[in-house]
Chains A and B, each alone.
Chain A
Amino acid sequence: MKAFATIAWLVMRKDLTIEVRSREIVYTTLFFAVSCVLVFAFSFVRDGRALDDAAAGILWIAIAFAGTLALGRAFERERQSETLQALLLAPTDRPAIFTGKLLGLLILLGGVEIVLVPIVGLLFQAPIFARPMLLAFLLAAGTVGFVAVGTLFAAMLVRSKSRDVLLPVLLYPVTIPVIIAGVRGTAALFQAEVDEPMARLWITMLVAFDAVFVTLALWTFEPVMTE
């Protein structure tokens, strides 16, 4: 158990060290997310006012698209020196490596969201501070689900042909429940009359999704990664 945590921490720290040095993924992902928000804003803002619930939808679409980009880039990096092979060659529990990568990507995407949410709040006059704790929890729960499935899929596609296009093809259908819950929950929190019980319901669903799919990912990581 201790070895598991040590290895996961080691892998996460390595990923974050590399990212801090180059800052490539965090800059490009953030920029892409903001561009996304703008592009969608032009579609959904009329007479200077956004359509109802547009802010929630745009936020989550930006997270999903930017997240997919970050996932692809992170594993492309591993592929270039085949270092993922080196990680699999180590005598450690393979799920520990998965966990390390997952944590690194969560922190990365979390950082992007911290910048993105205020921007969305600003552009759409969305009340992000009405229920900040619930909003934070909702975003966290949704991000965990999305990134868990995404990390597994991105890892398993690392040696496939057409991996760039196959990642979104596989990821989006499977994470639709996360998107639905995220958008509707956020919309409930952005309403003029905040619908707390509804938001809590969506959060419950996200937590259940996370529990099931993180477990599934840990379970299938080893067989799916060995050729």
Chain B
Amino acid sequence: MTKLFVPAIALAAIMFAVAPWLINGAPYESTMGLVQKIFYFHLPSWFVMFTAVLTAGVAGAVHLFGRNARADRVALAAVEVAAVFGLIGLITGPLWARKAWGVWWQWDAKLTAALVLELILIAYMLLRRYGGPGSERLASGLAIFGMANVPFVYWAANLWRTVHPKPTVVPTLGPGMRGALWWCVAAFMLLGAAAFGARMRLERLRTEVDELYLED
């Protein structure tokens, strides 16, 4: 994992450097114009976040039921990565909304669901930090509950908003946009994977230090 880290970061950096050109070259979206281009960073952030959340949920289950210590490290690293990229999504979302529709927050289903999920991720981190020894198992339980919660939050937020008119959030994808979008998705995924790898390594080293500390 260590060997791949530097090339991964380097590649991601290059991809991010190239990205603005591609984004610039992509055609304007019909209704929103320039503002829509934030979407090229907004959507990939969500991709990484949801992948990370899924990883965390599965790793939590493996840790809890399979008593696998490594799975616990995977869950922790995945939750942190998800929280960071979720935050990027939650910042770019309102920025976009403000410019496109004049309000910072619209209570639309996706953004609301994302906010709730972000809260659950932060709760996970608080639990691990302040719960004392033994909170790893509890946190894995929370991760499972959090993951199971996602469809319900989305369903509820969606149902809630059908009463009010909602603007279309997902723009129509014109042909020229696809290339730039997938480029950015790849760049974000690479960055996410590199961050995940680094965090895993940190946690593994921390566990090793604890073990050495306790050695006879």
A-side residues, CB < 8 A to B, are 149, 152-153, 156-157, 159-163, 166, 169-170, 172-174, 176-177, 180-181, 184, 201-202, 205, 208-209, 212-213, 216, 220, 223-224, 227
CA distance A212 to B145 in the complex (A): 10
Contacts of A180 in B (CB 8 A): 156-157, 160
The answer to whether B137 touches A224, judged by C-beta atoms less than 8 angstroms apart, is yes
The answer to whether B153 touches A220, judged by C-beta atoms less than 8 angstroms apart, is no
Contact of B159 among A153, A157, A162, A205 (CB under 8 A): A205
CB distance from B123 to the nearest CB of A (A): 5
CA distance A172 to B144 in the complex (A): 15
CB distance from B81 to the nearest CB of A (A): 19
CA distance A202 to B160 in the complex (A): 9
Among all A-B residue pairs, the 9 with the closest Cβ atoms = A161-B132, A173-B119, A177-B152, A180-B156, A177-B156, A160-B131, A224-B141, A162-B130, A173-B120
CA distance A161 to B132 in the complex (A): 5
CA distance A177 to B146 in the complex (A): 12
Number of B residues, CB within 8 Å of A: 30
CA distance A163 to B127 in the complex (A): 9
B-side residues, CB < 8 A to A, are 64-65, 116, 119-120, 123, 126-127, 130-132, 134-135, 137-138, 140-142, 144-146, 148-149, 152-153, 155-157, 159-160
CB distance from B69 to the nearest CB of A (A): 14
Contacts of B132 in A (CB 8 A): 159-162
The answer to whether A223 touches B64, judged by C-beta atoms less than 8 angstroms apart, is yes
Which chain A residue lies CB-closest to B134?
A227
Which chain B residue lies CB-closest to A195?
B163
Contacts of A169 in B (CB 8 A): 123, 126-127
The answer to whether B159 touches A166, judged by C-beta atoms less than 8 angstroms apart, is no
The answer to whether A156 touches B141, judged by C-beta atoms less than 8 angstroms apart, is yes
Given contacts A160-B132, A205-B155, contact A213 B145 (CB under 8 A): yes
The answer to whether A184 touches B146, judged by C-beta atoms less than 8 angstroms apart, is no
The answer to whether A213 touches B156, judged by C-beta atoms less than 8 angstroms apart, is no
Contact of A160 among B64, B119, B138, B160 (CB under 8 A): B138
The answer to whether B134 touches A177, judged by C-beta atoms less than 8 angstroms apart, is no
CA distance A172 to B153 in the complex (A): 12
Contacts of B120 in A (CB 8 A): 173-174
The answer to whether B159 touches A224, judged by C-beta atoms less than 8 angstroms apart, is no
Which of B137, B141, B146 has the most chain A CB atoms inside 10 A of its CB? B141
Contact of A181 among B64, B116, B141, B156 (CB under 8 A): B156
Contacts of A209 in B (CB 8 A): 152
The answer to whether B149 touches A174, judged by C-beta atoms less than 8 angstroms apart, is yes
CA distance A127 to B116 in the complex (A): 31
CB distance from B158 to the nearest CB of A (A): 10
List 8 other contacts, CB 8 Å, given A177-B156, A208-B152, A220-B64.
A160-B135, A173-B116, A173-B123, A174-B149, A177-B153, A205-B152, A205-B156, A224-B141
Contacts of A156 in B (CB 8 A): 137-138, 141
